[in-house]
Each structure stands twice: as structure tokens, then as C-alpha cells.
Amino acid sequence: MKADLPPVLEVKGLTKHFPVKKGLFGRTSARVHAVDGISFSISESETLGLVGESGCGKSTAGKLILKLIPPTAGEIKLEGRRIDELSGESMRDCRRTMQVVFQDPYSSLNPRMRARDVVAEPLRNFEALSENEIDKRVSELFDNVGLRSDQLSRFPHEFSGGQRQRLVIARALAVRPSLIVCDEPVSALDVSVQAQVINLLIDLQKEFGVAYLFIAHDLAVVEHISHRVAVMYLGRIVELADKESLFANPQHPYTEALLSAVPVPDPTVKPNRIILQGDVPSPIKPPPGCHFHTRCPLAFERCKIERPLMRETKPNHFAACHLREGEAVQTG
């Protein structure tokens, strides 16, 4: 019956344009196209990795889904229920299903709150529990994320970076959400600690069946944790596929360039890097047609005029590139 369940998260044409205001009366003079019509879905117990370089809109996408900022257009469905138009109390109820882990474990904890109260905050918001029950649940959560119960009454500054991120994960897990948006959860940590936190996230997924939207720029980390991977460039998803398929056989020239930039820990392998020319264009004035045509080594006339649509080039492998049009799998 699992197939009948709606996906945990379904996003359709999600768009965010930030107005650039100028002058005394705040006239909108331009718009930053931070997220420009992205669509994907995540099922139960699945991890979707969202990768891209800085400024491509991946963190904005995460905040839009969490409704921390209102979207300009598009649909967000959480467990089949549209949340993009909700606000106030009805949105608050939905937050139970969806939690967040931010990048910086130092600023995502209130320095004046004890560890116990940090983890208890979502419990107190959503569940009518007595203080004893809350203490019990918090201790269990501490146990789940590998913290000791004698650390319950410590303040955030008494923890290390990795421990703080465990605390943040415990807070996110407290109300048993079906989706956790992880916004670069390990990029602020040491490499050795990164592995511990990633493995903790994988273990917790097995235990609680939670789905992750895993936003990151580190391809190795994404490859380790994700089931499927979406690649973003300048506000758009250019490729979306199963992890194995994407890493073994990238279909979009940008993904190819991105993968070729991953260092290989073998001095005998001669790197065959694709060096992209130029800079990422400004999201205030994104280029017409395919956003990537200004830097694409394979670009031709059509790329400058027409926006390529996402097509299934291989089973469960989607790419937005005119070059792959002929190879499109005929579906339906």
C-alpha cells in the first residue's frame, strides 16, 4: 500500500524572486531570481541530495519549503497537503511534520538556553506532556543522538561543534517529523566529525523512517548519504537522478563539469577536469534560454533562446538539456 501514499514532500514550480528596492519609496527596480521554478519529490525514508555551488539558490529552496520565507510562486505539498498558501496557526500545525538542521551549530542554538530546554522546545509546542514525560523524552532523544544524559543541563557553549550538531538533530527529531530539511548540516564541522554526524543521520533514518532534503555542496558527502541527487544551477534544477546513475553517467554538461572537479585520491590517475570558463551570471539578470549556456562548452544557438525542459533521458534520470532531447525516453 506504500505506493498509494503521497510523497512526503512534493514541490512543483517553486519560485522565489527577491525584489531589489531602490529609492525613498522602495520602488522595485529589479528582482533576484533566487529560485526559478524547481520541482521534485521525496518519499518516506528517502534522502534527496540537493547540490550546487554557492549562490545557486539551494539554501533559499530549503527555507521556502520550511516556509521561513514566503514563495513567489509554485506548490509545496507536505504529505499531500498544500502548505504554500498556509499561514499563521494552520502553518504552525504543519511544522510538526517538518523540521530543520542548519549549517552553523554555533548560531542555531540560543546561547542562554540549556540543552534540555533546547530539545524540549518543539515538544512543549506540540505535545501536552507533563514535565516528567518531557524529561523522559528528552533523555531518550539524547540517547538516540549519542549524547549523555549528564549533559542535559549544560549550556550550548559547553559542547563541541559535533555535539552541538547532535543537539540540533535531537531537537529536529523531537516531534517525530516525516521530513528534516538539512541545510549543509556538516559543512561547518571537521572532516572526522562530519563522518560521525552523517552516519548518525543515516542510522536515525533507518530507525525512524524520516526523509531528508540534504542540501550540500560537498559531492562526496552527498554521494554517501543520498538515494537521489538533484543538481542546481542558478535557481534551476538541471539534473535529477538516482545517485548511482548520476555519478556514473551524468547527462547534463554542468553535472559533468561538477563531477570532474572532485579530486581523486590517487596520484597515478591523471585528472581529466572540465574547466568552466567565466563566472556564474548574476541572478538579477539571468541569461535567457538555458541558464548555463554562457559557460557551457557545448552550447549552440537554441540554448540562448529556449529554456530546456526536464526530460527523462534514461529511466528515472532527468536532465534539462537540449542535447539530450533525442535520447528522451518515451513515457506515457
Contact residues: other proteins, CB under 8 A: 63, 66, 68, 92-93, 95-96, 98-100, 102-104, 107-110, 112-113, 121-122, 125-126, 168, 171, 175
Distance CA 205, CA 120 (A): 21
Among residues 113, 103, 121, 129, the alpha carbon closest in space to that of 171 is found at: 121
Distance CA 208, CA 201 (A): 10
Q: Which is nearer to other proteins, 63 or 317 (CB)?
A: 63
Among residues 232, 216, 215, 195, the alpha carbon closest in space to that of 310 is found at: 232
At 297, phi and psi to the nearest 5? -70, -15
The type of residue at 269 is V
CB of 177 to other proteins, least distance (A): 10
Q: How far is CA 277 from CA 119, 228, 255, 290, 295, in A?
A: 47, 28, 15, 16, 6
Q: Which is nearer to other proteins, 99 or 226 (CB)?
A: 99
Q: Which is nearer to other proteins, 125 or 249 (CB)?
A: 125
Distance CA 216, CA 233 (A): 13
CB of 74 to other proteins, least distance (A): 19
CB of 34 to other proteins, least distance (A): 16
Among residues 219, 304, 305, the alpha carbon closest in space to that of 256 is found at: 219
Taking the mean position of all CA atoms in its chain, how far away is CA 132? 35
Q: Which is nearer to other proteins, 120 or 276 (CB)?
A: 120
CB of 75 to other proteins, least distance (A): 20
Q: Which is nearer to other proteins, 96 or 314 (CB)?
A: 96
Q: Which is nearer to other proteins, 68 or 191 (CB)?
A: 68
CB of 26 to other proteins, least distance (A): 8
Distance CA 32, CA 17 (A): 5
Q: What angle do CA 279, 282, 286 make, to 5 degrees?
A: 110
CB of 200 to other proteins, least distance (A): 18
10 Å CB burial of residue 176 (0-12, 13-18, 19+) is middle
Q: Which is nearer to other proteins, 122 or 162 (CB)?
A: 122
CB of 25 to other proteins, least distance (A): 10
